[in-house]
Amino acid sequence: MADDLATRLRNLTTELMLIPGLSGYEGRVRKRLAAELAGLGLATRTDRLGNLIATIEGDAGAPSVMLFAHMDQLGLVVRKIEANGLVRVERLGRVPEKALPAQAVLFSIGEGRDIVGLIANKSHHATAPDEKYRVLPYAELYIDAGFDSAAAVLAAGIDIGTPVVYRPQVLSLAGNRLAGTSVDDRAACAVVLEIARALPGLRHKPTVHIVFSVLEEYNLRGAVTAAQMLVPDIAIQLDLILATDTPDMTARGDVRLGGGPAMSLYSFHGRGTLNGTIPHPALVELFNTTAAAEHLTLQRSAHVGALTDLSYVQLVGQGVAAIDLGFPMRYSHSALEVCDIDDLAGLTRLLLAGLARIGPDFNLDRDAFPQ
């Protein structure tokens, strides 16, 4: 049974990682997720921004839950087509510039019409010593897709505004680990699908609105319209939690890849965003209690520099009790992010057991938590 879950999560995550879906262009991912939900017998609806929503009815007396993961990914947008057929791009999302040169990319034009290219890296033989350790700003980079004129680029369907993503790929690493494009957040989309599969069979459960959200990597606010429509009492967001078990990350925390699911106790991002999430104490207690009862390790994360669309969802209506749960992940926002399938399976079990504990008596009253 457990092995079935891990196998399904591996297959689903892999399949979802291979679908291009830049923020604002989530259509192909949404179509696939909607088909998966339809296969589970769940009706779906899509709001005007593109959020995909399915509701699983539960105990009407219990607080309602919005369980969500974002289906978009970061990438690039065509900014200028040079006369010689090389293509300049703009960033969409927090793209790490030092990880861009020599990467393969995909111009996402339409199913069967996508075009591969590569982000050029200056020939090493012509690189001066002082250039060797310099990170090129994205504006100095260009994409070579093999065309030798602007007319040829346009004729292939690439124009200003065309979305570009890392060329989708998945590598199976040792053990149960996967590397590839957009583990963030397709791995969590796979977990949400597994919850949608199992939840209808649970005797005790609250009403759960499944949401696959848009625009997270772009402006963090795509999920807000879904939350405004659903007005949930509780919001649970699933995303990566930074693994800190590599030499460059050890001072940042204590999250181990393969060490089990994790929850964020504190997130914040300044520099204009000025938002973050401090989880509702009832939800921290719920998942601590659930993890102990299920003999699952629940890792803890608290740091600034990152946040999710949950930060905006929590501000809807009279306030939504919120928590970020997730899976440890290495090398965020690079073309090869790494996760461990065992962590995804642990996260699925934690969520199912946790949701089953949200009944009519579940107390979200802040005064019940005097700290």
Q: What residue ranges bind Zn ion (CB under 5 A)?
A: 184-185, 239
Given the residues 26, 36, 194, 216, the one annotated as active site? 216
CB 178 within 8 A of CB 171: yes
| Residue with Cβ nearer Zn ion (184 or 340) | 184
> Minimum CB separation from Zn ion for residue 169, in Å?
18
Structure tokens at 98: 């030092």
Kindly state the helix (H) or strand (E) to which residue 45 belongs, with its residue range: strand 45-46
String of b and e for 210-248 (b: at least 16 CB within 10 Å)?
A: bbbbbbbbbebbbbbbbbebbebbbbbbbbbbbbbeeee
The residue (of 153 and 189) whose beta carbon lies closer to Zn ion is: 189
Nearest to 95 by CA among 75, 81, 67: 75
Beta strands, E only, 145-261: 163-166, 170-172, 177-180, 208-213, 234-242
In the complex, least distance from residue 185 CB atom to Zn ion, rounded to whole angstroms:
4
> Minimal distance in Å, beta carbon 21 to Zn ion?
12
Residue 69 near residue 192 (C-beta atoms within 8 A)? yes
Around Cβ 207, how many Cβ atoms within 10 Å? Answer: 20
The position carrying tokens 């989309």 is: 189
Of 184 and 194, CB closest to Zn ion:
184
Question: What is the DSSP code (8-state) at residue 30?
Answer: H
With respect to Zn ion, which residue has the nearer C-beta, 36 or 185?
185
Closer residue to Zn ion in complex, CB, 240/282: 240
Cis peptide before 185 (omega within 30 of 0): yes
| C-beta closer to Zn ion: residue 56 or 183 | 183
Dihedral sign, Cα of residue 46, residue 49, residue 51, residue 53: negative
**Residue 294 designated active-site:** no
- Taking the complex as a whole, the smallest distance from the CB of residue 271 to Zn ion amounts, in Å, to 18
Cβ at position 239, least distance to Zn ion in Å = 4
Task: Report the nearest approach of Zn ion to the CB of residue 44 (Å).
Answer: 21
d(CA 307, CA 88): 29
Q: Which C-beta is closer to Zn ion: that of 233 or that of 309?
A: 309
Is 343 exposed, middle or buried (CB count within 10 Å of its CB: 0-12, 13-18, 19+)?
A: buried
Supply the minimum distance, in Å, between the C-beta of residue 123 and Zn ion.
Answer: 35
Asked whether 114 and 47 are in contact (CB, 8 A), the reply is: no
Query: What share of residues in the chain are helix, strand, coil (percent, to 5)?
Result: 30, 25, 40
Which residue numbers are catalytic?
216
